[in-house]
Every structure is written in C-alpha cells, then in structure tokens.
Amino acid sequence: MCWHVVDVERLVEDDPPARAVWELIGGLDLTRFLSPIGSINGQAGRPAFDPQLLISVWLYAYSRGISSAREIARRCEYEPAFQWLTGLGVINHHTLSDFRIEHREALDELFTQVLAVLSAESLITLERVMHDGTKIYANAGKSSFCTKKRIEAHLKIAREHVARMEQPEAAELPEPRRAKVRERVHREREQRVAHALSEYEKIERAKRPGYNRTSKQQTGASISDPEARIMRHSSAPCALSYNVQVSTDAAAGIVVGIDASQTVPDYEHLVPAVKQIEERLGKRPRQMVVDAGYTSRENVLALHQYGVTMFGRSVQADGRVRQRFARCGVTDGFLPDDFHFDSRSDTFLCPEGKVLRPRVPTERPGRTMIRYQASITDCKVCAQRTKCCSGNTRYGRSIVVTKENPVVTAFRARTASAEGEAALKQRSVVAEFVNAWLKEKLGLRRFHVRGLAKIRTEAMWAALTYNVQQWIRLRWRPLRLAIPLATA
C-alpha cells in the first residue's frame, strides 16, 4: 500500500468523453431526479449522491459497453475516468443498480431534454425518420420457461417454503438474520411464480379462438421474467425476448424515440412511435420510412391522416397468392389472373366460359373487397373442377377483387418511385446502424433487468447513451479540437 498525490483533473486528460458527458448533463435541468431527495430533521442518514454524478457514471459506463452495476462499482476504485466522475469516491453497486431503474419518468424527461439540445444544434430535422424494431434477449434462461403444469408445481413448492418460514420454529433458528433473508427470498420467488401464472393466463387469453397447439404460439411463461415473450430473432433461434422499437432521424442518425414491448408484430408500433416523436419534439416527422413489418393499409391511412408521408416495402403479394391457392388445390391456369373481367356486365368469365357474378362488397380499412362467384350448378358438373375448386362442394368457385383506397395506391406508387427506393435504401443503413450500435457497442444484447417497465428504462438508458455519443462525435469533439483542452 502507498500514499500518493493525485491530480484529479489530470485523470481524464486522455479520456475526454467522461468530461463531455459531465458537461452535457450538468447543463440540463435535473429537478425531477432531485425532488425525491430530502433530509429529515433529527434523523441520521448518509448524504445522497448527486444525480449528475450517477447519470454521468451510467452514461459513461454504457458508452464503454459496461452495463453491470457491480462492474462499475469495481471500476470506480481504479479506473481514472470513473474516479474523476466520482471525485475518487466509492459507490455501492446497490446504489447504482437502484438508480438505473428507479427514475423512469425523470429519465424520460432527460431524454427529451437531450433531444432539445441536439435539435437546437441542428442535428435533428425530422425531415425523414427511419423506424425499426429489434429483438433483445430477456434476462431469463431457456430452462426458466415452464408450461402451466410446471408453473403450478413450482408455485406449490414456493408456497410450502413460505408457509414453513412462517412457523414459530423458524423464528427460533440460530441465525435470525439469515432466516429473514431466506424468508424474503422465498416470498419473492412465490410472487414471481404467481406472476408467471398470471402472465401465462394473459397469453392464453390473447390467443386466437381455435388455436392449434402444434403451431408456434407460446405455450407457457418464464418463471424468471414472466413478462418476457418467446420471439424469433433474425439470425438465431426463438428465445425469451422483448421487442425494442427505435425511431432514428436520418439527418445525423439521432434516436428520437424508443420503446419496448411484449408483442411481436411490428406494425402496431408505428402510430405510437409517431405520437412519441411529436410529444418529445413538438412536431411530427415529414417522412417515415419503414420495412415490410410495418406496412399495413391501416398504418398507411393513419399516417396519411397525421400528415406524415410514409415509405414502406410491401410484402411480395404474388408469391403468397400463388402459394395460398396451391394449398387449396388450385393449379396454374385457374388462378384469378386466368379469369376474364367483363366491365360492361361487371362479371368475370372463368376459363370454361361460365359467369361469376358480384356479391355484396365488404368494406375493410383502406380497401373494398368484392367477391365474384360462379353458380354451384355450373361448377358441380365441370370437367375442370379438380383443378379449379376441388375441395369446395357447397359453393361455386369465387374470386375476390380488392379496390384499393386512393391513399394506399398513392403510397404504393410513391414507394416504387426513385425517391422511395432511395429512402428504403437509406433506411437499412440508418436504422440497422443504430440497432447494431446498441447491441455491439453498448452491450445491449441481453437486458440486465426484468419486467417490461424496467426493460423500457434500460432501453432508454441505452438510447440516451447513443445520442450523447453522437453529440460528442459531431459537436463536442470538433469544438474541442478547434480549442485545445489547455486553453478551453
């Protein structure tokens, strides 16, 4: 052991990002973080840590790909940048860990404040926003996933443990402190398993009627993180995960909206994303660019109503239609394109020359569907029946014509134009870059917390760190290079 003099200011000479984070956070309004802190006259207690310090430590840690509170606490003891941020102080990992998840609303406001700073520095224009979703692993192993039967068995055991701890003999154990800890652990486990059972019931209720157990729908819940859901990853097998939604402004690649959800389909997150951007920045994006997962007629119409121009890749319909008809036994030569439409009589003629007449149109969001049907008397005796409508013995062959809403037609034409192609190309660069950065650089491949509310908070920390890093790269660092540190 040795004593030596440390010039704290010189600790970050080689690591200016720590200083940049401190400066940025120091210039923001942290009242919402400060308001829960108070002292009670006459009662002892250690002084609270300054929120500026804890925020800066977390942002700096995430920017280095460190997301474990224990690891940060360890590094505060020897790593110069952490020592500078804490003023050579020591922070308990519990303090760090609690701070990360306890200030969801204050953090949300801080995220908006940072966006205001970036917007004032012309790094956000909202001319074009790319929206994308990425699956991030939950903090729960494969073995924690249980069927209803197993969850109930676990719950029974957990309740037995709790009941045993409540017996008078338990209070007379030689180590009462340990017994208390054990009781708390058993109670927490019981609550978690009961929560898993309620989540399982929620999943079952959300299933479509006539659900088939052999399909790929979730058939249980995790007892480690009951709110996590089984999701398919693009380059990995299905796993317990959350679906993180990220909106990125194309001007400088700044994240202008972030959220996490338990639901897999992406299309239902597009309208909430536009609303979130408007709430944070006071205006809507001019253009929104998305991939096929968000392209639905409902979204096209909703964004049109909001005055947002949408670009989105459509699912290749032709291949799907062919596959669907093939499953029903319809062969080539009897697909809808092989039926001839007569506009004067508003009827179709089948390849055998029989008439298909229109039925009452059905209105659906963004389209009108008209079914044209042949008479069963014609089809019953037709020699081509096995190729045209083999499985149907009650009704004549029908085809459905969809009349698109003009807004949807305009959306398709826009996306197919040169501008649309360029926007979609730019989307994959901008949106995928952010996803890769969050996972690779910030280490957010797997969440460190459990439960949707905490997951949303951790995703927010990561997005905030990413934005601060972009601000350092695009604004703070060029300014520092222009004005050397010694004279700054």
Contacting positions for ligand SF4 (CB under 6 A): 350-352, 354, 374, 378-379, 382, 384-385, 388-389, 396-397
Considering the complex, state which of residue 397 and residue 427 has its C-beta at the smaller distance from ligand SF4: 397
CB 480 within 8 A of CB 262: no
Nearest approach in angstroms of CB 318 to ligand SF4 is 21
Nearest approach in angstroms of CB 348 to ligand SF4 is 9
Helices (H), 166-296: 168-171, 176-206, 270-281
Tokens representing residue 158 in the block = 């957990």
SS3 at position 232 = strand
CB 133 within 8 A of CB 459: no
Backbone angles phi, psi at 237, to 5 degrees: -65, 170
Give the gyration radius of the chain's Cα atoms. 30
Burial tier of 5 (Cβ tally within 10 Å: 0-12, 13-18, 19+): exposed
Nearest approach in angstroms of CB 385 to ligand SF4 is 5
Nearest approach in angstroms of CB 360 to ligand SF4 is 20
Query: How big is the CA angle at 225 (ends 222 and 227), to the nearest 5 degrees?
Result: 90
Considering the complex, state which of residue 146 and residue 389 has its C-beta at the smaller distance from ligand SF4: 389
Query: How big is the CA angle at 61 (ends 60 and 62), to the nearest 5 degrees?
Result: 95
DSSP class of 446: B
Considering the complex, state which of residue 93 and residue 357 has its C-beta at the smaller distance from ligand SF4: 357
Nearest approach in angstroms of CB 332 to ligand SF4 is 13
Which residue, chain included where needed, has tokens 């898993």? 196
Nearest approach in angstroms of CB 392 to ligand SF4 is 9
Considering the complex, state which of residue 125 and residue 392 has its C-beta at the smaller distance from ligand SF4: 392
Residue 90 to residues 45, 160, 267, Cα–Cα distance (Å): 17, 41, 46
Nearest approach in angstroms of CB 416 to ligand SF4 is 33
Burial tier of 39 (Cβ tally within 10 Å: 0-12, 13-18, 19+): exposed
Single-letter amino acid, residue 407? V
Considering the complex, state which of residue 171 and residue 400 has its C-beta at the smaller distance from ligand SF4: 400
Helix 418-436 / helix 406-416 crossing angle, nearest 10 deg:
80
Nearest approach in angstroms of CB 321 to ligand SF4 is 17
Report CA 214 to chain centroid distance, whole Å.
27
Nearest approach in angstroms of CB 365 to ligand SF4 is 30
Considering the complex, state which of residue 351 and residue 443 has its C-beta at the smaller distance from ligand SF4: 351
Considering the complex, state which of residue 25 and residue 388 has its C-beta at the smaller distance from ligand SF4: 388
d(CA 474, CA 456): 27
Neighbours of 218 (CB within 10 A): 18
Considering the complex, state which of residue 356 and residue 472 has its C-beta at the smaller distance from ligand SF4: 356
The b/e string for 437-468 (b: 16+ C-beta within 10 A; e otherwise) is bbbebbbbeebbbbbeebbbbbbbbbbbbbbb
Considering the complex, state which of residue 16 and residue 336 has its C-beta at the smaller distance from ligand SF4: 336
Considering the complex, state which of residue 69 and residue 388 has its C-beta at the smaller distance from ligand SF4: 388
Neighbours of 480 (CB within 10 A): 15
Nearest approach in angstroms of CB 232 to ligand SF4 is 38
Nearest approach in angstroms of CB 391 to ligand SF4 is 12
Query: How big is the CA angle at 223 (ends 217 and 228), to the nearest 5 degrees?
Result: 50
Q: Which helix (H) or strand (E) holds 110?
A: helix 104-120
Considering the complex, state which of residue 232 and residue 380 has its C-beta at the smaller distance from ligand SF4: 380
Do the bridges between strand 236-249 and strand 229-233 make them parallel or antiparallel, or are there none, so unpaired?
A: antiparallel
